[in-house]
A and B are shown apart, each in its own frame.
Chain A
Amino acid sequence: MPSRDFFRNLGKTFSRKPPDLTEPIPTPKLGFIPGAEPTSRLDPWWWLVVGVILLVILLMVFQPDPYWNIFLFVRDGLVITVELTVISFVFILLLGLIGGLGRIAKNPVIHIIATLYVEIIRGIPLLVQLIWWYFAAPAVIQSFGEWVHWEALATYRSNPIVLAVVGLVVCYGAYMAEICRAGIESIHKGQMEAARSLGMSYMQSMVSIILPQAIRVVLPPVGNEFIMLLKDTSLVSVVAVADLTRRGREFMAAHFNPIEVWTLIALLYLILTLVSARVIAWLERRRKY
């Protein structure tokens, strides 16, 4: 078992220090010195991504039956999973920002609404919420439509993908609201005071001063949420959305080869999350000042 220091030093070898702009940039030395600044701009963890992609390609090329067949069958599910994640995430960021601003609002009504939202939604499992949106929400809308004699609502036909997006956005928005709140609160209050003392309005100060600084703070947890969301989209497979997981289950039901199907599905998810993690790391590095 290697010691903790081993891992710490390993991290140091790969991690990049933020550039110190006061110092002249030293000319790169020739040859690789362990522990020295890496000479290539490429994040070395990309090699892990390359390795997993290579493994999947090798499986498909040398074992086309079943791996290539599985891939052909599930690839539309792969697209759905990516779309679902990206579309949901855009709305989650929006809802999270609004929720986070609501949580720090001085107006008691806004504060209470935002806090209730966060506390209630965080307390219910995502799977239960998704099932609620798929089975209960349309029924609620229909009976409401009957009650107010509104034809369009009474005959409401649900779209599973829309309800899945709603379910994911509502649930993840609550966590994102807490991340945004923490990010905004982490910025020293003197920054807001300085902005206000120059005559800038609350919103101007928020947009120009606080949020740009908070983004740097929240980027790691937001990236974390993105990867968790990507994986949690697999839960929508139980509410009639033909995502990667559901397509895998359908293939297995027809061909009875669980080992190959679920190994490939797992590797495909892994590729998506590893690539996301690298993109997030790249964004984090760009945000140093």
Chain B
Amino acid sequence: MSEPIIHVENVHKYFGRVHALRGINMDVHVGEVVVVLGPSGSGKSTLLRCINHLEVYNSGIIVVDGILLKTAKNINIVRREVGMVFQSFNLFAHLTALENLTLAQVKVRKRSKKEAKKVAFELLAKVGITDKADCYPAQLSGGQQQRVAIARALAMNPKIMLFDEPTSALDPEMIKEVLDVMLALAKEGMTMLVVSHEMGFARATASRCIFMDEGQIVEEGPPDKLFSSPTQERTKLFLSKVLQL
């Protein structure tokens, strides 16, 4: 197998006295869709945020796209290759949907305004909200905002997409429209690392599922195997509660 695009080795992270990540080892290869499951406070989001250095890890090694994060001179070079989608959307509130997509293209990718707009409209069409291009985030529904946020990340042509509970702040009707976009993305072969509780999504797209608890990876494997015959007691307990829903 080829060199992993994300390589995580024995990573520890502390928040004050709280030991949030306790020796995480994980690889993600190009084209893989990895879904990270686990209860609240298990460190899934922290792991994701460490991978694009929004959180600084205390020890261990994280290599993203061949660059070691600890010694990276310019973290922005790593970040432009790693798209991130947040639970709370985080669209720029003072910019329209279109401007949300073009700003970083112009500032970071140094594209011309015209080129950036062209890319933006293509992506807005892809996520199905071309008609809302001139709306401000406050005028969009949660699902629409999250789709714009996905398009905004894609506009940078990232090699990897990180999703931090992208559907947790949405009501059930809107979850589907966001998951559909993510499904399409996975089918195109995008490398994705997804923190989510969407079991259906995991089953349909994940090449691998990782179950985390208390800052450690408890178990990992293909979704079918992990969901139907988990080996660890902790995984069984978690899945029995989640799959009941």
A200 lies within 8 A of B107 (CB): yes
Residue A3 at the chain B interface, CB threshold 8 Å: no
Please judge, given known A-B contacts A190-B90, A212-B94, whether A197 and B139 are in contact too, CB under 8 Å. Answer: no
B227 close to chain A: CB less than 8 A: no
Q: Are B90 and A193 in contact (CB under 8 A)?
A: yes
Partner of B76, one of A22, A188, A201: A201
Given contact pairs A190-B86, A198-B79, A199-B80, A204 touches B107 in the complex (Cβ within 8 A): yes
User: Could you tell me the distance in whole angstroms from the C-beta of B92 to the nearest C-beta in chain A?
Assistant: 6
Q: Which residues of A contact B76 (CB under 8 A)?
A: 196, 199-201
Q: How far is the CB of B135 from chain A (nearest CB, A)?
A: 8
**What residues of A have a CB within 8 angstroms of the CB of B135 in the complex?**
21-22
Residue of B nearest to A197 (CB): B84
Q: Which residues of B contact A191 (CB under 8 A)?
A: 90, 92-93
Using A21-B136, A190-B86, A193-B86 as known contacts, say yes or no to A198 and B93 having CB atoms under 8 A apart. Answer: no
Per the 8 Å Cβ criterion, residues 193-245 of A in contact with B are: 193-201, 204, 208-209, 212-213, 216
Q: Say which size band chain A's interface belongs to.
A: 20 to 34
B: interface residue count bin: 20 to 34
A9 smallest CB distance to B (angstroms): 27
CB distance from B199 to the nearest CB of A (A): 26
Residues of chain B in range 86-110 having any CB-CB distance to chain A below 8 Å: 86, 88, 90-94, 103-104, 107-108
* 8 Å CB interface, B56-104 against A: 76-77, 79-80, 82-84, 86, 88, 90-94, 103-104
Residues on B with beta carbons closer than 8 Å to the beta carbon of A289:
93-94, 136, 138
Distance of A188 from chain B, by nearest CB (Å): 8
Which single member of B90, B104, B136, B138 contacts A200 (CB below 8 Å)?
A: B104
**Docked-complex contact A197 and B107, CB < 8 angstroms:** no
Measured in the bound complex, the distance between the Cα atoms of B108 and A196 in whole Å is 10
Kindly supply a per-residue 1/0 record for chain B positions 126-158, scoring 1 wherever the CB is within 8 Å of any chain A CB and 0 otherwise.
000000000110110000000001001100100
A213, B136: Cα distance in complex, Å: 13
**Chain A contacts of B107 at CB under 8 A?**
200, 204, 208
**A198→B54 contact, CB < 8 A:** no
B136 near A198 (CB under 8 angstroms)?
no
Residues from chain A with Cβ under 8 Å of B156 in the complex? 198-199
**A216–B93 alpha-carbon span in the complex (Å):** 11
The chain B residue sitting closest to A207, CB to CB, is B107
The verdict on A196 contacting B139 (CB below 8 Å), with A190-B90, A191-B92 known, is no
Give CA–CA (A21, B90) in the complex, Å: 21
Q: Could you list some 25 contacts between A and B, CB below 8 A? A: A188-B88, A188-B90, A190-B88, A193-B84, A193-B86, A194-B84, A194-B92, A194-B149, A195-B104, A196-B79, A197-B79, A198-B80, A198-B152, A198-B156, A199-B76, A199-B79, A199-B156, A204-B107, A204-B108, A212-B94, A213-B92, A213-B93, A216-B94, A289-B136, A289-B138
Binding site for A on B (CB under 8 A): 52, 54, 76-77, 79-80, 82-84, 86, 88, 90-94, 103-104, 107-108, 135-136, 138-139, 149, 152-153, 156
New A-B pairs, 17, CB < 8 Å, besides A191-B92, A195-B92, A204-B107: A21-B139, A22-B139, A190-B88, A191-B90, A193-B54, A193-B90, A194-B86, A194-B149, A197-B153, A198-B80, A198-B108, A198-B153, A198-B156, A204-B108, A208-B103, A213-B93, A213-B94
The residues of A with any CB-CB pair to B shorter than 8 Å are: 21-22, 188, 190-191, 193-201, 204, 208-209, 212-213, 216, 289
